[in-house]
Amino acid sequence: MHTSLHRSVLEPIPEASTPPRVLPHSARAQSDSESDKARAAAQWKALASALAGQPKVRLSKDGGRNYFTKNTRTLTPDLPHFPAAVMVTGKDGRVAAFCLDFDAGRGDVAADLVGLKILLTQCGLGWIEDTSPSGGFHIYIPWQERIDFTTAREAVEALSKRFPSLDPSPHQSVYSGCIRVPGSPWKHGGYQTLTQPLDVAVDVATRRNNHHGHALLRAALAPELTNLRAAALAPTALPEEHKEPTAIGSNLRAEAEQMGRHGTFDTSRYASPSEARQAVLASAAGSGWSLTDVQRRMNDGTWAGLTGFYARYSPTQRAKALRSDWKKAEAYCRAQADKNHVGTYGRKYDTSQINTQGGLRNGSLTNHQFLRSWERVLNLYERSHLRTREGLSLRFLLRALLEAAHKRDSPILEFGVRAYALATGTHESTVARQLSMLASGPSALIRQVGEGKGRQADAYELVIPEEYTVVAETLSWKKGKTHALRPVFRELGQVSALVYESIEKSVDAETTASITRETGLSPTSTKQALELLHAWNLITRTTDGWVLTNPGKLRTLAEYFGVIEAIAVQYAAHRKQRAAWHAWLDSRVNVFGTLALITDDYEYRDEDIPFWPDYEHDDVSLTSLMLVRSA
């Protein structure tokens, strides 16, 4: 340290010198803050892309507590304004660096860091180190050749066995594994900061570590790797004919989604990644999917885990291996179908396309006209009565009622609360309470006209209050279908759903101001929703205003966000609650269960049988993994 910094406060200042300029405390604090931000920006610009597995970053808009998929953005050299974590694994199922997160809550970080650095030095490996204001540490080991997800996960988990304070979770999911890198803002202020000079870190990131160093590291971790493999019990065989079909179908379906998305699997059931990936393909083939359906999910990152299972192959070998595995899966499914006396392993449904907007069967449009008029009344009612937080949820319950009425071509509905809960993404108890709220008061848009008995649900009728009669007769109808909460908006939020709906139903481009007026939302909420929808390329801004870009992407994004998993869980809970229907399902579901469709529309049925998607549409792609009954 420079001697001038240790000068005694009693030592007189030389006459020739000028008294130093002392900045006010607030000015010094501002100067320090700007300096810290500039240093963080330089570290982020130099290292973020070098350490990321793919050019994507997830922002935390709740102060660093959560890094939601919906807040994924393209990785740029500019320092984010929010806490930001780069994706560890790429869409190719490979990592660019080992990202080691040391947590003081798990053990002695200081001792583990010393031990790790000794190990890395012995293997001739370079590393980058940073720390957070909370005292946590990250170590990054960049590689010249990208390493497949399974190999990387195994190595990091072996390191966590030797160094207990190491959290291996960033390497335990291809889909969601992420980590804050040098420069990232911290949740309580400050930044993730290098503990070494920036030029040293850049040199390590540029030179990177070779395959020989990786081999030496794995050799040094041989005891831990052996213990990890020994912990995996003998794999469980694929389902046999004598086992319970429903349990097998349900478990395999859930496992297929988990393995396909995250690349993790039950080592007591599958001995290796090759067996795990074969189970995923068998489940897909048993549901009537095509190889193209699987490839599309691998290419867009929805099934990044399955891609990771093939990451050890070169691109040309990967395609060949996938085709070979797919043929094996189809052959296995045909054999299982023959054993169970099923004519085909494809899906079978006893549902057919429903005319959702066609009026009465005798050709009259009376019901259709009433429902379209009721929809216009709903638009006015919700802007004056449903402006609270719970009002957002009530809006979508009313939309679910309207959607069901259109599909049943009747203003009188007898559907159970579970059907509406699935359509709105809420709990059935919440729906029951909200139906009671909506049916009360002189301006209510629904009224209860029948009390449920046994399997028969309560009956509700859509009504137009007298005060809205003139409005209903004079206002013109708006184009487009009415939807409950479409699956993708379980992730993007109800406000985004209302903003998207406003743009979707507009004849011309919508301005931000007109959307705010139409939806009754606050300007701030509207702008945030527009930003989110635009970030995911669902809308675009023209000189005249906002317009839709790719409506078909709603289904793709719902699948990418993992919404189908949440719907499957909710659906499975409803199945258990319907004991009679569950017994009926037990005798009919095939050995795999079914990986079925969820579209943006819901079909409504009686309380004991939930509504089903409209499977017959030509433009509907396979966008869900919800387990449903087969013939």
Name residues whose C-beta falls within 8 Å of residue 466's C-beta, 6 or more positions apart in sequence: none
Contact between 220 and 116 under an 8 Å Cβ cutoff? The reply is no
What are the 10-residue block averages of pLDDT along the chain, 631 residues in total?
38 44 49 82 96 93 84 92 93 92 90 96 96 91 93 94 94 90 89 95 96 95 88 44 33 69 79 86 84 84 84 81 90 79 43 34 59 87 83 91 88 87 88 90 84 74 85 73 89 93 87 91 93 92 90 85 79 71 52 50 49 33 30 27
Kind plus residue range of the DSSP H or E element containing 616: none
Sketch the domain layout of the chain as residue ranges. 35-227, 245-339
Least Cα distance to 554 among 466, 480, 620 occurs for 620
Least Cα distance to 158 among 144, 168, 150 occurs for 168
Say what the pLDDT of residue 183 is: 95
Say what the pLDDT of residue 205 is: 96
Give the residue ranges of DSSP H helices in 232-365. 245-262, 273-285, 291-299, 304-309, 315-339
Structure tokens belonging to residue 275: 């067996």
Say what the pLDDT of residue 407 is: 85
The CATH fold assigned to 35-227 is: DNA primase, PRIM domain (3.90.920)
Say what the pLDDT of residue 465 is: 86
Amino acid letter, residue 561: F
Torsion of CA 437, 438, 443, 445, to 10 degrees: -170
Say what the pLDDT of residue 126 is: 96
Say what the pLDDT of residue 257 is: 78
Contact between 456 and 449 under an 8 Å Cβ cutoff? The reply is no
Say what the pLDDT of residue 505 is: 86
Any idea what the Cα angle at residue 134 is, between residues 164 and 53, rounded to 5°? 65
Say what the pLDDT of residue 6 is: 37
SS3 of 193, please? strand
Least Cα distance to 573 among 418, 460, 436, 410 occurs for 418
Give me the long-range contacts of 298-302 (CB less than 8 A, separation at least 24). Answer: 299/91, 300/556, 300/560, 301/91, 301/175, 301/560, 302/260, 302/261, 302/556, 302/559, 302/560
Give me the long-range contacts of 52-57 (CB less than 8 A, separation at least 24). Answer: 52/86, 52/87, 52/88, 52/96, 52/181, 53/86, 53/87, 53/88, 53/89, 53/90, 53/94, 53/95, 53/96, 53/97, 54/87, 54/89, 54/90, 54/91, 56/86, 56/87, 57/84, 57/85, 57/86, 57/87
Kind plus residue range of the DSSP H or E element containing 447: strand 446-450
Say what the pLDDT of residue 454 is: 56
Structure tokens belonging to residue 478: 């708006």
